A and B are shown apart, each in its own frame.
Chain A
């Protein structure tokens, strides 16, 4: 496992330098009002994939997803659980039938996402790092998803 991670890391680093847009990283953010400064990757998985509905500080967790066709969503799930969007959709399709567990709400842009995060405490979303630096200091990065 360590080996595999190491290999992924080396691969990511190489991609970073070769692609030209360095630091274009995914980060999971929430508002300061949410009251948490950090989340583990497992926490993020559990929240995004419907396992837990509350944050570690017991606040209801409200994850926000991006549009289906967006590049960032694809990147997010790949980095988070190593699955394609088709796989993620398949996963949700089984749960949707039962009606008990719903997938995260979908917003069309990162701006909408940030707006909702800032407005509703407990909301978490994922954005490009660049986007985050441009916008607001009220956003708290709880997890960075390196490539």
Chain B
């Protein structure tokens, strides 16, 4: 470390500067003081001269007075001569009585003395002559003349000048002495030590920690302290340098590591400022963005690449910069268009570096993007019909329900094919699919450009129709659509072409007229669904419009559902048991279990209200299992008391076959240790009318396990006699409507009689329901009806009362007058 030699000229040194400073100060002070000295000297000299001359005048005054008194010119001349001996007197004159008694004038060396005086001296000569009055020696009050004296100012002035010159020479000498001593002091006490330090510093290498010696004799002076400070700074510098070198080394290692990562990463890495100007980037980055960025570029800018939407990148920049403090990474995907029309998706992650610049990584996500797009396209489409699926529909509805309701009103039409399940069952799934495709084609033919169609379930379609029509016109339009839908479908089956006819139901909801602001896609669809349900409840083959009351009803139903679910858990659903009596012996042989629900608020809810509801909402399966379990419990209690009673349970069509499989029933019996004849299953004709083979299999499995199956409500439905033959039934239960008027209505009587007779011939047991009077009893016994149940015997009672009820019934029957 060689410091540049700064002092190159002698006049730049401290010595020269101090001497110059002292010189200037001395000159200034000398100038001022010489002026002042001259002033004061001249002033003083003048005063002194005047005083001296006045004194001289005074000494001769009395003699002059005498001379004047006696008019003695001789004496006066003597006085005048005496005075003239003084060198600085120019003229003396003694006057008396207005006459000159004596006078003497020195011969002048130069003319116009006074003029020269003023100009040379620069001082105004106030008094060019001195005058003293002469008084009488014997009377002081009498003035008898004057003695007048003219001083020689030139003489005085020359003396003043001499004095001034002397003084100034002295001053000059003093100044020179001071200058020399200042220079000497500076040289010896300041300059030499500084020079010594400077030379040593110049040759010292502070980075090695070399110490500088203190110049001799300066151990305790400022110079010594300075050297001490320099040495301690040197020490600190050496330490700092060592530390710095260590850090630098570590940094270089780290730098190398990261440089490798940077250069060879497959992801693009860059650092850019907020305007997109690239500070640095790696080769992968250049390659990825298809932009020939080279380091020679003046201003390589990220935004210059061929982005499809550069403004999106800019907004990502803004976002990343705003999240500066959070230190989070902002990521988004951007499409890049190549020159040959190819595309590339790049994911850019940005993190703020905190100084207004951003660090980013770029990865190629083209493959993922394409998969996503494909997946989204698939996700929104129904593969079978090519219409949109539920997800696609929801997206469209969501989009169209955002914003101003009044802006674009539209109708949502939800269509359900009636009896489609039967086509699937009877003709196979592929036939069903074919039907769906045709339906889709007919829908496509019907809808217009702005409309939208989707299949959201097995046989559920949704149309989103522009509401371009007045309500009547729309009605008309719908009727036409229904006519088209319900046209016969020609199905090409392997063996022949079959023509089938399908009916449809539909629910319509309007967006705008029917919807409160803020109705979203889901609600709108729900409205259409409610309208559809209404149409279906009305028997199908029609359409209904959504009304707000539907929501109320739906809400009501929903509440009951909730309550029902609650009831299943808290046990407010329970079984009642109505005894079944052997009419020939008058004994109780079993009981029909009937489910009861005591609603905490509504009280007793009839099964024909809540069972369909349970079927609708899918609770029937759980209720079925509950019934099975309870029935088994109760019958096992009875059997434990050696009462060979059985319990029948009602099974609805929806429970067959999967909600209540035969295996479940059989295992429940086994679990309670019950024989198969302890349980009977009651089914309705509806079960038999559905999928015949399924019902048949189900019943057969139960029959083979030894369970009895009763056909409930016989006579109310189709009551096809072929059923009785085709299905493995054990008994029929005559519906109570026939029994009620048995005594009065001969038709009913004939019908019941026929049923009993027929059942007997088919070896089926007959159970009459609704036996309410002794008359019924006697008629049925006459007809040979073996079993009966009804209020005559007992209503359904709870399990713990059953035993008592049985006793009561048997006692009452025994007491009846009728012979058994």
Contact = CB atoms under 8 A, between A and B. Distances in A.
Nearest to A50: B70
Contacts, number: 40
Contact of A49 (B63, B67, B70, B75): B70
A51 interface: yes
B400 to A, nearest CB: 144
Given A45-B138, A81-B138, A91 B73 contact: no
A101 interface: yes
Q: How large is the interface on B (under 10, 10 to 19, 20 to 34, 35 or more residues)?
A: 10 to 19
A84 to B, nearest CB: 13
A100 B78 CA distance: 12
A30 to B, nearest CB: 21
A91 B69 CA distance: 11
B138 A100 contact: no
B74 interface: yes
A51 B144 CA distance: 11
B66 A100 contact: no
Given A49-B69, A50-B70, A51-B69, A94 B138 contact: no
B137 to A, nearest CB: 7
B138 A98 contact: no
B274 interface: no
B66 A94 contact: yes
A50 B69 CA distance: 8
B217 to A, nearest CB: 80
A105 interface: no
A98 B69 contact: no
Contacts of B67: 98
B138 A49 contact: yes
B71 interface: yes
Contacts of A91: 66, 137
A45 B137 CA distance: 11
A99 interface: yes
Contact of A94 (B71, B73, B75, B139): B75
A45 B139 CA distance: 10
Nearest to B76: A98
Contact of A98 (B78, B137, B139): B78
A95 interface: yes
A97 interface: yes
A110 B75 CA distance: 32
A42 B141 CA distance: 13
A50 B63 CA distance: 14
B72 interface: yes
Interface in B71-103: 71-75, 78
Contacts of A51: 69-71
A61 to B, nearest CB: 13
Contacts of B66: 91, 94-95
Contact of B74 (A42, A49, A100): A100
Q: From B75, B78, B139, name the one whose CB has the most chain A CB atoms within 10 angstroms.
A: B75
A98 B67 CA distance: 10
A101 B137 contact: no
Contacts of B138: 45, 49, 81, 83
Contacts of A97: 75, 78
Contacts of B69: 49-51
A98 B75 contact: yes
Interface in B133-150: 137-139
A112 B22 CA distance: 93
A101 B101 CA distance: 14
B102 to A, nearest CB: 11
B104 to A, nearest CB: 16
Contacts of A83: 138
Interface string A67-89: 00000000000000101000000
Given A49-B69, A49-B70, A50-B70, A95 B75 contact: yes
B137 A99 contact: no
A100 B63 contact: no
Nearest to A81: B138
B137 A100 contact: no
A100 B71 CA distance: 9
Contacts of B73: 100
A98 B81 CA distance: 13
A65 to B, nearest CB: 16
Residue of A49, A50, A98 with most partner-chain B CB within 10 A: A98
A100 to B, nearest CB: 5
A46 B323 CA distance: 131
Contacts of A42: 139
A42 B137 CA distance: 12
A94 B63 contact: yes
A6 to B, nearest CB: 18
A83 B139 CA distance: 12
B97 to A, nearest CB: 11
Interface string A44-73: 010001110000000000000000000000
Interface in B683-737: none
B505 to A, nearest CB: 165
Contacts of B63: 94
A91 B75 CA distance: 12
Nearest to B69: A51
A98 B71 CA distance: 11
Contacts of A45: 138-139
Contacts of B74: 98-100
B607 to A, nearest CB: 168
Contacts of A98: 67, 72, 74-75, 78
B277 to A, nearest CB: 119
Nearest to A82: B138
A42 B138 CA distance: 10
Contacts of B71: 51
Nearest to B141: A1
B46 to A, nearest CB: 33
Contacts of B75: 94-95, 97-98, 100-101
10 contacts: A50-B70, A83-B138, A91-B137, A95-B70, A97-B75, A97-B78, A99-B74, A100-B70, A100-B72, A100-B75
Give the top 10 A-B pairs by smallest Cβ distance, nearest first. A98-B74, A98-B75, A81-B138, A50-B70, A100-B74, A101-B70, A101-B72, A100-B72, A98-B72, A45-B138
Given A98-B67, A98-B75, 13 more contacts: A42-B139, A45-B138, A49-B70, A49-B137, A51-B70, A91-B66, A94-B66, A95-B70, A95-B75, A100-B72, A100-B73, A100-B75, A101-B72
